[in-house]
Amino acid sequence: MLAGLHHTFWAKQVPVYGEHFRCLALDNRGIGQSQVPPAGYSVEDMATDTLQVMDALGLEAAHVSGFSMGGSIALAIALRAPARVLTLSLHSTCGRPYPFLKHRYRVLVAVTRAGDPDLWAEATVITAFSDRYINEHDDEVEAEVARRRARRRAMTDEEVEGLVGHYLAFSSYDPWDRLGDITIPTLITVGSGDAVTPVAYSEDLHARLRSSELHIIPDAPHRALTFTAEAFNRISQPRRPAPRARASSSFRRTSGHSARTME
């Protein structure tokens, strides 16, 4: 299980998935309990890290799931080592560095390095949630601002550089021309109110990935796995689709105790 930030982003999924699967939620380099190298590493580097973890655990293959930047890492793994990916799940992510993302993360890099917790909290929230979601869930969003403010105050200089490294890696990864090579059964999900990786980005992915199906989660923001966890979990539990499934195809759950690797 791969995320754009801390492995605890999967806290509401692991108990559900864990009823049927062995779950591995990873901290990528630069975040959480992993080492923080200088910024300049890539999504490809983090894909290498994930494959090395699988090697160390003796896992030949896994259901690979990624959220946000974790989706980019999952794509990189699928392109480099397709035989090691049983199924692919791409949540709130994209298949190329859209200009919007480039400009968003330029702002966030500057705001993150500025060191003002209030500014960082408000800037990351206003660029992560749509105006509609904020207007309809003001109390929830205010609570999120408070959590982010506290998080920024607690960040060390090393943690700041780790976060900047993630921003730069995600906003520059471009597998677009190679996506047609992926034939792994793929589930794509996105919230209808995703302001970071809008629905159109997932629609583009779906059109590019021949064996994919797309689910749009109503009224969900970018972090659908957190803020609309019940709906997200119903759709996203590890499962094996029929070969070359499209949006109308049905899925059946795989049996056994397979590992699912995510951010």
148-206 confidence digits (pLDDT tens): 999 999 999 999 999 999 999 999 999 999 999 999 999 999 999 999 999 999 999 99
pLDDT of residue 79: 98
- The yes-or-no verdict on residue 244 having pLDDT over 70 is no
239 band by pLDDT with thresholds 50, 70 and 90: low
**Average pLDDT of the chain to the nearest whole number:** 89
Q: What pLDDT, in 10s, does the model give residues 213-230? A: 999 999 999 999 999 999
Q: What pLDDT, in 10s, does the model give residues 82-117? A: 999 999 999 999 999 999 999 999 999 999 999 999
**What are the two backbone dihedrals, phi and then psi, of residue 8, each rounded to the nearest 5 degrees?**
-70, -5
Share of the chain above pLDDT 70, in %: 90
What is the residue whose two structure tokens read 């990864």? 173
pLDDT of residue 4: 73
- The yes-or-no verdict on residue 37 having pLDDT over 80 is yes
Q: What is the pTM of this model?
A: 0.89
Lowest mean pLDDT among 37-41, 153-157, 175-179, 244-248: 244-248
pLDDT of residue 3: 83
Span 132-147, mean pLDDT? Answer: 96
Q: What pLDDT, in 10s, does the model give residues 197-217? A: 999 999 999 999 999 999 999
CA-to-CA distance for 93 and 84, rounded, in angstroms?
21
